Structure 1
Amino acid sequence: MDMQAWRQRLLSGHWFNHLPALLQDSLLAIAKVRRLSPGQRLFRRGDPPCGLYAVLEGAVRIGAVNEQGKEALLSLVEPPHWFGEICLFDGQPRTHDAFGVGLSVLLHVPQAALLELLEEHPHYWRHLALLMSHKLRLTFISLEQLSLMPAPARVAHRLLLIAEGYGETEHSRRILQLPQEQLALMLSLSRQTTNQILKELQNKGILNLSYGEIEVLDLEKLRVAAQG
């Protein structure tokens, strides 16, 4: 696929779709397509800033592993989401590890070229700030839920967010390519607890579970379950 074909995929996301046409053109002009094999590392915590990324196909796993081998999974970034903007603002090292999930295709906007573009057009910084503020808002909501919401509501809410593209896409998805252990890691729950909650949602006719996949059968009932 050429860059204009990828552009159509990116336009399905609210952030890129609402950028000025000149900024869209400029980002695509300096971007490169990068492919990751399953499990291939994109960057690790502590690496220097390397730019902005968008997922075109596949997914990217963002997280960290401590010295004891315990993993924290922050998110699974899927098309047409963008990530990596924090280091653009502060110039500091990467905060987490990023790995490809399955065969993945990314759009990479290199740091130096992007900073040069922003130097020439400083008003574009606002658009990058909107990208970051949307994720910050979701982070605050997740922290609140961690403290206040029971586990079943947290599971339902996270599934609802994923199905609705974290508010970034127009149309919701029925099929979520999400193994149960990854969902458990995202929510800091045990796999056993997560599996039990998912089975209860399946018994209520809200979900259908299969290997590595969760199918949303009733989005409205899932929305109600997410309210606690």
Structure 2
Amino acid sequence: MAVIPPSPLAQSHTPIAPPPEGDYRANRLFRHMAREEIEALAQQIEHLNYGKGELILQRLDETGGIHLLLKGALLANQYARSGREVGYRRISAGSYFGEISAIDGLPRSVNIVALEDTRVARLPQPLIQALFEQSPRFMRAILEDLASLTRSLTDRLFELSAVSVACRVDIELLRMATMAGGDGQQATIQPCPTHAELAVLVGSQREAVTRELNRLASLKIVSQTGRTLRILDLPALADEIERIGGEV
């Protein structure tokens, strides 16, 4: 079993620069851990590259471990027997996936597909087990994120059952804008999902997504050039969600 050094007690020290973007140490999974704890993992982490469209994890796979997304964007999805694709969530750089199977030891519950060229870092199952047993700070992050994921999926279930497609599109745009950061007035989503990818996430068809994006563009709320989608007026987008029956 991998041995993880104990977390040092909080103490005053000289501030250090955060790890660069794309470094496994910058992943949100490690946000509560001490630097020494994180750096001790380096030799046990496997780095992998995937091209756009590649399947990273397949539903019902029995592989263990947790994957950190260092670069790129991913989609968690599943296919019905009819061939219909159901999207659960879009995963952005700095996030991670695979924690549910790592916790309960059961097969993977969804597919994970690369939406663009992607780099991930894989924490093997023996290392995860050691962290579960030896690092309360690691477990704190896992528990917080599982609670957040449960809330998010609850919101999505409500949206699919109770609000219109147009409203679901607007809500998804607001989610992505929030993740992209900004000044509270505007945000840039880059690369933005295609209309087809967005349709999968909101449980609709590409044509309906295109209509709603065109409507928002006519209201000067969004503007798209290639794979760059700019939210020009975040408060107006939030107001539009409320107006057509959603909740912010």
Superposition TM-score, scaled by structure 2 size: 0.79
- Pick from 154, 157, 160: which aligns with 1:146? 160
Deviations 1:104-131 (A, max 9, x none): 1112111221112222335642321112
User: 1:90-169 counterparts in 2 under 5 A?
Assistant: 90-121=104-135, 124-165=138-179
For residue 198 of structure 1, what is the aligned residue in structure 2?
A: 213
State the distance in 2 between where 1:206 and 1:19 align.
40
User: 1:1-228 counterparts in 2 under 5 A?
Assistant: 4-6=19-21, 11=26, 16-28=30-42, 30-121=44-135, 124-165=138-179, 171=182, 173-176=187-190, 177-227=192-242, 228=244
Gaps of 5+ in 2: 1-18
Is this contact kept in 1: 2:60–2:109, CA < 8 A? yes
SS in 1 for 2:83: coil
Is this contact kept in 1: 2:70–2:121, CA < 8 A? yes
- Note the C-alpha offset of 1:30: 3.1
AA of the residue aligned to 2:105: G
Deviations 1:65-98 (A, max 9, x none): 2222211122221111122111122111000111
- Note the C-alpha offset of 1:59: 1.2
Gaps of 5+ in 1: none
SS in 1 for 2:127: helix
Is this contact kept in 1: 2:72–2:116, CA < 8 A? yes
Is this contact kept in 2: 1:179–1:213, CA < 8 A? no
Structure (1 or 2) with the greater helix fraction = 1
SS in 1 for 2:56: strand
Q: Give the alignment's Cα RMSD to 1 decimal.
A: 2.4
State the identity %: 21
SS in 1 for 2:88: strand
Aligned length: 221
Larger radius of gyration: 2
Q: CA distance change for structure 1 residues 103 and 128 in 2, over 3 Å: closer, same or farther? A: same
- Note the C-alpha offset of 1:27: 4.8
State the distance in 2 between where 1:156 and 1:28 align.
40
Deviations 1:28-69 (A, max 9, x none): 553222111121211100101421122111111210122222
AA of the residue aligned to 2:69: V
SS in 2 for 1:95: coil
SS in 1 for 2:117: strand
AA of the residue aligned to 2:152: L
State the distance in 1 between where 2:91 and 2:78 align.
15
State the distance in 2 between where 1:77 and 1:124 align.
20
Q: CA distance change for structure 1 residues 183 and 35 in 2, over 3 Å: closer, same or farther? A: same
Deviations 1:155-208 (A, max 9, x none): 11111101111xxx7547413421011111111112222111111101000111
